[in-house]
Amino acid sequence: MSAAPGSAMDSLSAALKCNIIPNQEYLLQGSVLDQYVEVLLHRLRGLCDNVDSGPESFHDHELSFALRAQGAGAAPMVLPLRVRRALDSPDSPWQLRYVGQQELGDKNRPTVVRSSIDMACSSTIVDFLTELGCRIDFEYIARGYMFRKGRMKITVSKIFKMGNMNSKPGEGVEPISQSYLVELSVLAPTGQDAIAEDMRIFAEQLRPLVQLEKIDYKRLGNIP
Amino acid sequence: MQQREEKQLEFALENIIQRVNDLKSSIASMIMKVENEYETLNWPNFLDNYALISGQLTALSKVLSHDKCPVLRNLTVLPLMLSPERDEQLAQITEGRVTTFAHDLVPDYLRTKLEPMAESKMLQVENKAANLTYENAQKQVAAYQKVVLHVWDIVSKAREEWEVESSSRGNTQQNSSVADTHLLVAAVGMGKGLKMGASPNGGNPTSGGMMVAPQNRPGGAGGSVPIPSNTQSVPMNKAPSTIKTNIKSAAQIHPYGR
């Protein structure tokens, strides 16, 4: 029994060393106004791989937990952890995801890069995280469509705020804006920067319908 | 003089024969493809073939209408001898399509007039045109012109609309709003506007600020001083005002509540 965790750690570190774990997320974000979303979906249907089956729809509830720990220095650490579950398919596993700080890079880098690790888990994850000392930071509902093109994933989703604490998810929710959030992302192992160029080219094809850009979160802090 | 013309004719004929042969071979390959590869043949490929043939046709008609090309219409082909027997040389030249140069085939192959049926039809039409009175013809021309003009109007109107639409779309780009993008990204990425603490009924148990304060207190230095500084300098970039009020209320509740 004692050997099992050790070997798991070994194989994990070996996998890390071989650089086969897709732990970098390349990301571009944008939005489209509600009245033009059909046009965008139509265009995506034409551009993306899953032409025959049509776009995949999703209806997810995302909880963002934060684990706060007093580090050795004065600066406190906040470890964000996101739990996501599909409301439209209750039997699917839940997803736990860590998303790191984003790196914007210089102008030559076409996309935002951030570390990202995700895994499937069961619904007890919420209790587990709570026991660990994580607290819900915020939550939202995302409903929309997912497209694929090669390794790229494109989601077009409406973001809803949870109505109030007592109502069930899916009830009493309100959209937070008159637009759909559009995200273009790829999960890849470290150092595969070539995919970012593909993403830039794909994003060009969606202009001027959607402006997919690198968005600096730090600047967003000042927006009312 | 005579010699030069002959040379020209020879050159032009050679040219024409080559073009016709090109055309023949590409038509043959297309037929081949349609017959044998109809399962794998895709549309772009088919169109490529078609474009090739149409290009060769254009080239051929260019050669025929070239200044240097003698007027072929003025030349006559005279069949000197007809024979009902098989002519091996002829069969070879025509790839086995024509084997005899006989009286029943020659009129078809050397025909310069239209077919009798087509000819009679043309004659009918010409007769009709000749019998038309001037006024009637004028009337018909006018009516025809009116129809054409009408169609022209429709087409140009549609074009105008289309151009206006596309140019306005290019200029204004009203399909997305930067403010909405930032709002959505900030909400999904940092929970801006989604945290329960920001809502008027701030006594919610899930609110971020509420939960943080009691949790940090035991671990921290104690007292209310380090808590606001902690919370404000976290990299999550929260709106300071809401958090401050929340923490205050938490600090007030804490000694009694627990």
Q: Which two tokens stand for residue B197?
A: 């603490």
Q: How far apart are CA A176 and CA A158, in angstroms?
A: 8
| Contact flag A36-B175 (C-beta cutoff 8 Å) | yes
Q: What is the pLDDT of residues A36-49, one digit of tens each?
A: 888 888 888 888 88
Q: Which domains are present in chain A? A: 23-216 (2.40.320.10)
pLDDT tens string A4-21 = 556 778 887 887 777 777
d(CA A111, CA A105): 8
Burial A5-25 (b: 16+ CB within 10 A, else e): eeeeeeeeeeeeeeeeebbbb
> Per-domain residue ranges for chain B?
1-74, 192-253
For residue B171, the chain A residues in CB contact (below 8 A) are none
Q: Which is nearest to A203 in space by CA: A194, A191, A193, A214? A: A214
Q: Which of A40, A68, A142 sits opposite B212 (nearest CB)?
A: A68
Interface of A with B in 32-91 (CB under 8 A): 32-33, 36, 39-40, 62, 64, 66, 68, 70, 75-76, 78, 80
Whether residue A52 contacts residue A222, with contact meaning beta carbons closer than 8 Å, is answered with no
pLDDT tens digits for range B189-219: 888 887 765 444 433 334 333 333 333 334 3
State the fold for domain B1-74.
Answer: Methane Monooxygenase Hydroxylase; Chain G, domain 1 (1.20.58)
Contacts across the A-B interface (CB distance below 8 Å): 135
pLDDT tier at B20 (50, 70, 90 boundaries)? very high
What is the average pLDDT value for chain B, to the nearest integer?
Answer: 75
**Residues of chain B contacting A, Cβ within 8 Å:** 169-170, 173-178, 180-196, 201, 204-206, 208, 211-212, 215-216, 219-220, 230, 233-237
Q: Which of B190, B243, B193 is nearest to A80 (CA)?
A: B190
Q: What is the pLDDT of residues B131-159, one digit of tens each?
A: 888 888 899 999 999 999 999 999 999 99
Of all residues in chain B, the percent with pLDDT exceeding 90 is 17
CA dist B250 and B257 (Å) reads 9
Q: What angle do CA B75, B81, B84 make, to 5 degrees?
A: 130
